[in-house]
Structure 1
Amino acid sequence: MQFKGAFTALVTPFSNGQLDEEAYRKLIEWQIQSGINGVVPCGTTGESATMSHDEHKRVIRICVDQVKGRVPVLAGAGSNNTAEAVELTRFAKEAGADGALLITPYYNKPTQEGLYQHFKRIAEEVSMPFILYNVPGRTSVNLLPPTVARLNKDIPDVVGIKEATGDLNQVSQVLEFCGPDFQVLSGDDFTVLPLLSVGGCGVISVVSNILPDKMSALCSAWFAADLPKAREMHYLLASFSRMMFIETNPIPVKTALSLMGRINLEMRLPLTPMSPANSETLRGFLADKKLI
């Protein structure tokens, strides 16, 4: 499997409103040196919604250049505008990304047929491995298992899905309908181990921005059939997962990385800094865990 293990949904560091390329390259390098299995630029955690197309493309290009083929790069390339998704996916391929992460169209609330036709159109225009991204909490639409199976059957480039429903029954149905070679990645840091247990192959993680070694260790332990170690990592990471979502992602994880000295604390409106109370809670938590 090409997309297996722990993939980090990378934050995008900013400085004075601009991409902080130096901090971004350093973050990627630290991730790789810490044993991460892959990286995802321009996802939700990377604030893709508030980047211009030029910025989006620059972030992908920098990521591919910094990685230099050492781990897979799964580039966020989705949109609620099908033509725009085609353009971003085409660029991801030209930039040298190993695959494209394609979110279901948000806000439009397409039918299951609309979802099918959206991904079909992208595949007609660009050929590369596609990981679908199902996150109903952000998009208000749920890509249902029969539709995933139809896409997998009809479109060879649809090789997997990032499942962020938190619904293990739905994940089980996806694997039942698509077979064990379909690459199902968790989109919820809380459910990595349960998802692996039903046949998933990894995670696209927020928490691994700050703990790449621990998240990759969880996946490695599972694949080595070391269930006690995998369970240990699961419970070690549980409190971090809760802390990274005490406010809207990526606000807490960017705050944590800034407290760790890895990026400036800057995000784009409509995201705002953490409340003072939550910020102090996070600082105390990280200090207690000896990360700062």
Structure 2
Amino acid sequence: MITGSIVALVTPMDADGAVDYEALDRLVAWHIEAGTAAIVAVGTTGESATLDNDEHIAVIRRVVAAADRRIPVIAGTGANATSEAIALTRAAADCGADAALLVTPYYNKPPQEGLYRHFRAVAEAVDIPQILYNVPGRTGCDLLPVTVKRLAEVPNIIGLKEALADEARIKELVGCGLPGDFALYSGDDGTACGAMLAGFHGDVSVVANVAPAMMARMCAAATAGDRAAAEAADAELAGLHRDLFLQANPIPVKWALHAMGLIGAGIRLPLVPLAEEHHDTLRATLRAAGALS
């Protein structure tokens, strides 16, 4: 089981929107050095919605090559058409990804039975470990714990990324009788520390993009049950938890990484660069966290 800080990695781009593969290599190396536990390639933060199919697969392949088996690579392969999710998951497996992360189908709002059949179909079609991803604020549907428990019976469905920042949901998932080897990951940085102290196994993190060592330290303490150390580390990250979401993700985190000199300024429409009114706020927060001199 993967535990700890899992970065939801940005996809670096030049000003014209072309993927910058050399910058991608450098980010992977930085995360390995900083103690990040695993990398999610081409998730929401990686702008999966605006990469074409060839780019999507090329980024997964490049991250797998750059990681070189030093840390696991989890490929974002979700789609709102089951056939497309199967095709992307098969491609990720062919690229050598260690696991796939599959978001709930978005826009078409399937019922719980539809979600169950969708995820089961992907898992049965592609023999790679698969992690479910629930983010109702983006998809318009909510994968309920009762359905997660059904899906946990499918052998290669190994975990859930839960981005519903709700304490009751966290407690329900921890207490609903999931298999002991089924991983629960937070998908919300602001509540991740509490979720891990309650029994979650890690955090798929946006904040880890700019503060990988700090996030690794916080997650290690929280998953070990060291409340005092985890909450102290999380307090140091509070500003980033807040200000990296001043606008829709990944707008602020890509601007931050550009300000840190780690990637170019590129981001793809319909997303646009961070509004100027937020620059001073985010710059000050990065400096306070030691991410920017």
* TM-score range for the pair, normalised by the shorter chain length: over 0.9
**2:279 is aligned with 1:279:** yes
1:40 Cα offset (Å): 0.4
In the other structure, the counterpart of 1:238 is 238
**Which position in structure 1 is the counterpart of 2:86?**
86
Provide the rounded CA distance (Å) in 2 between the counterparts of 1:207 and 1:81: 30
The answer (yes or no) to whether the contact 1:5–1:202 under 8 Å persists in 2 is yes
Code of the aligned partner of 2:188: D
SS, match of residue 286 in structure 2: helix
Amino acid at match of 2:94: E
Residue 57 and residue 169 in structure 1: after superposition, are their counterparts in 2 closer, same or farther (change >3 A)? same
CA contact (8 A) 1:175 1:182 kept: no
- Answer yes or no: is the 8 Å Cα contact 1:189–1:206 preserved in 2: yes
Note the aligned Cα RMSD (angstroms). 1.2
Contact 2:39 2:74 in 1 (8 A): yes
1:23 matched to 2:23? The reply is yes
One-letter amino acid of the structure 2 residue matched with residue 22 of structure 1: E
Q: Give per-residue Cα distances to partners, 1:168-193, cap 9 Å, x unaligned.
A: 22122223221443200000001111
Output the CA distance in 2 between the equivalents of 1:209 and 1:284: 17
Shift of 1:231: 1.1
Deviation at 1:225, TM superposition (A): 4.1
Q: Please give the per-residue CA displacement for 1:48-85, whole angstroms capped at 9, x wherever unaligned.
A: 00000000000000000000111111110000111010
CA displacement at 1:285 relative to structure 2: 2.6
Aligned to 2:76: 76
Q: 1-side partners of 2:8 and 2:19: how far apart?
A: 16
Q: Work out the CA distance in 2 between the residues paired with 1:225 and 1:120.
A: 33
Q: 2:161·2:186 contact (CA, 8 Å) conserved in 1?
A: yes
Which residue in 1 is equivalent to 2:169?
170
| C-alpha distance in structure 2 between counterparts of 1:286 and 1:172, whole Å | 32
**Number of the residue aligned with 2:103:** 103
Partner Cα distance (1:134, 1:115) in 2: 11
Partner of 1:5: 4
Equivalent residue runs for 1:148-159 within 5 Å: 148-153=148-153, 155-159=154-158
- The question of whether the paired residues in 2 share the 8 Å contact of 1:11 and 1:209 is answered with yes
Letter in 2 for 1:194: G
Q: Kindly report which structure 2 residues correspond to 1:13-52, keeping only aligned pairs within 5 A, or say none.
A: 13-15=12-14, 16-52=16-52
**CA distance in structure 1 between the aligned counterparts of 2:130 and 2:237, rounded to whole angstroms:** 28
Supply the distance in 1 between the matched residues of 2:222 and 2:117 (Cα, whole angstroms): 36
- Residues 197 and 227, structure 2, Cα contact 8 Å, conserved in 1: no
Deviates most, 170-179 or 121-130: 170-179
Letter matched to residue 67 of structure 1? A
Aligned 8 A contact 2:13 2:266 in 1: yes
Shift of 1:220: 1.4
Distance 1:174 1:231, change over 3 A: same
Is 1:190 paired with 2:177? no
2:123 matches 1:123? yes
1:197/1:287 CA distance change after superposition, 3 Å: closer
The secondary structure found in structure 2 opposite 1:102 is strand
Moved more, 222-231 or 14-23: 222-231
Q: TM-score, normalised by structure 2?
A: 0.96
Structure 1 SS opposite 2:267: coil
User: Which 5+ residue runs of structure 2 have no aligned equivalent?
Assistant: none
Q: What is the TM-score with the length of structure 1 in the denominator?
A: 0.96
Instruction: Measure how far apart 1:275 and its partner are.
Output: 1.3
Conserved? CA contact 1:106–1:139, under 8 Å: yes
- Structure 1: state its 5+ residue gaps: none
Partner AA of 1:171 in structure 2: I
CA distance in 2, matches of 1:281, 1:239: 10
1:227-253 CA distance string (max 9 Å, x none): 221111111111111010011100000
The answer to whether the 8 Å contact 2:240/2:286 transfers is no
